[in-house]
Structures are given as structure tokens and as C-alpha cells.
Amino acid sequence: MPFRNDLFLGRFGLNPRFEDTDLLLDEPVARMIGRRVCRRYGREEVSDGLLETLLAAAQSAPAKSDLQQYSIVVTDKDQQRALSDMIGSMPWIADASRFLVFCADMHRGQRIAELRGKEHVNNTLDTFMNAAVDAALAMMAFITAADFKGLGSCPISAVRAHTAEVCSLLGLPKGVFPVSGLTLGYPTDDGRFTLRLPPSVVVHHGTYDDANLEEDLRAYDARRNRLQPIPPERQMHKDDFGISDDYGWTENTARRLAKRERADFGDFIRAHGFDLE
């Protein structure tokens, strides 16, 4: 089995902690650790048969209590262009061979309860979360299968910045909302590879422990600034926060979280069938 510690080093900027970590990196896992986001696509179309295979992989993902509370909309070209125009800042939506929207779906369960003469009493925050997680798991299974088939993809959370318009365009009834879009196609470059937070920040053994968070984040900022620096022109919200000489992932994240995003999303969801009790 080939050693692939280079992938671990590439993903985190760190060597693995354990000597036998490389033995775990068989080919499928190596592909997952080496995954890149794709935003440049060639003209070759993804065939209907291949798409059907990938959708079968998506539907093979785990689902809470086997309720399968998600739906996947495969857009047509007119819808794809409309979504690209709607979002505006992401030309790769229109360039992709396919564009899908993964949706949380409580509506189907409501219909099933009605068909069986039962009252659907789970119009709750828990169902909202379960349905969103089901959709996310299905999308990740789809992405993984697409990667194995040599395709590239890019999740598009910006569909939630236009939730009402997306629901109208796709005919999503109450109880169904978009979790994420996904571009799909054959890549024309190596894609975008992002250095991730160190496992010491994300992985907790036994109990949550962020005692070393500040130190670990300083080191992470330094690694990212060395390997993937953010130029001044790409600093976020410059009009509000100016240009920083100490700009890394943490400053970028803090600026993003300091500005309210999708402020009307909760109101729309409540009006779109979810009581969120």
C-alpha cells in the first residue's frame, strides 16, 4: 500500500500524529482527503446514465430513522441560467454541465401521514434539523461518488440567500426548502485545495477542550498565510474594517461572522411550513 502522508501534510500543513496513519490511506480515503473544489468546467456533458448512478449513490446515504426527508432537484438549463443570474457572483453555476439543488423535505412526510390517516405532529425544529442533515448527507455521498468518477463539484450555499426565489423557480411546496446547490462537471484544472483547521481544534477526545485554541489558531493562521495567503484586495468587508496587516483565516472568519447574513431566512422558513417549535 503506498504511503500518502503527503496528502495529510497538504490538507493540514502538519504531519500525522501516528506512525500507522499512512496505512489507513487506501485509495478511496486518499481521494477524499485530497478532494478539491471545482469551479472550472469543460464542455463535455455529464450523461443521464452517469447522473442516475450518482443520484443512486446520493440516495444510499444514511437518513434519520429511515425517514429520508430530502429531495434533489436536477435543474434544466433555463433554471440553471436563472439561478446563475440570481446569485450573480458565481459564473461557474452557468458553466457547469449540471446544477442540482439538495432540499430538506418535510412535505413528503406530511403527505404520507395524510395518506395513512395519521396526524403529522412533528413540524418542529428537530424535524427541520433532521431534514437538513439528511439533505447534506445525500449531497456529500453524491460529491464523493462524483469525485470517484473523475467529476468536479462545488456546493453553493448562496441558494439560501435567495430562498423565496429559488422555491418559486423550482416549485418547492411548503415544508421543502433548499439546503445547497451543487455544480457538477468535468474539471479543466486541478481545482481549489483548502488547508483545513488542525485536528487538535476540531477533534475532541472524551470532552470538549479548547484550552489551546488561541495558540492553535495562531499557528494555523501562520501556515495558511505562508501556503495560501489572502491578498489585500480580497480581504472581506474592507469598507467596515479596513485593510489589516494581520489578515488570516481567523480575521476573515471574524469579519464574516460580524456581518449578518440571510437575515430573512428564519422568517421565510416559518412562513414556508416549518413552525420550529
pLDDT tens digit string along 153-199?
A: 999 999 999 999 999 999 999 999 999 999 999 999 998 889 999 99
pLDDT for 217 equals 98
Q: Which three cell numbers stand for residue 213?
A: 485554541
Q: How many domains does the chain have?
A: 3
Task: Label residue 151 by pLDDT band (50, 70, 90).
Answer: very high
CATH of the domain at 65: 3.40.109.10
pLDDT for 26 equals 72
Q: Report in angstroms the alpha-carbon separations of 48 from 29, 45, 99.
A: 27, 9, 13
**Residue 171 and residue 153 share a domain:** yes
**Residue 159 and residue 89 share a domain:** yes
Residues 67-72, mean pLDDT to the nearest whole number: 98
Of residues 249, 145, 133, the one with CA closest to residue 180: 133
Residues 263-267, mean pLDDT to the nearest whole number: 90
**Residue 143 and residue 56 share a domain:** yes
Residues 9-25, mean pLDDT to the nearest whole number: 83
**Residue 154 and residue 107 share a domain:** yes
pLDDT for 129 equals 96
pLDDT for 157 equals 97
pLDDT for 23 equals 67
69 pLDDT higher than 90: yes
In a domain, 62, yes or no: yes
User: What count of other Cβ atoms lies within 10 Å of the Cβ of residue 108?
Assistant: 17
**Residue 70 and residue 167 share a domain:** yes
Task: Label residue 133 by pLDDT band (50, 70, 90).
Answer: very high
Which carries the bigger pLDDT value, residue 34 or residue 213?
213
**Residue 142 and residue 208 share a domain:** no
Q: Which three cell numbers stand for residue 189?
A: 484544472
- Residue 78 phi, psi dihedral angles, 5° rounding: -65, -45
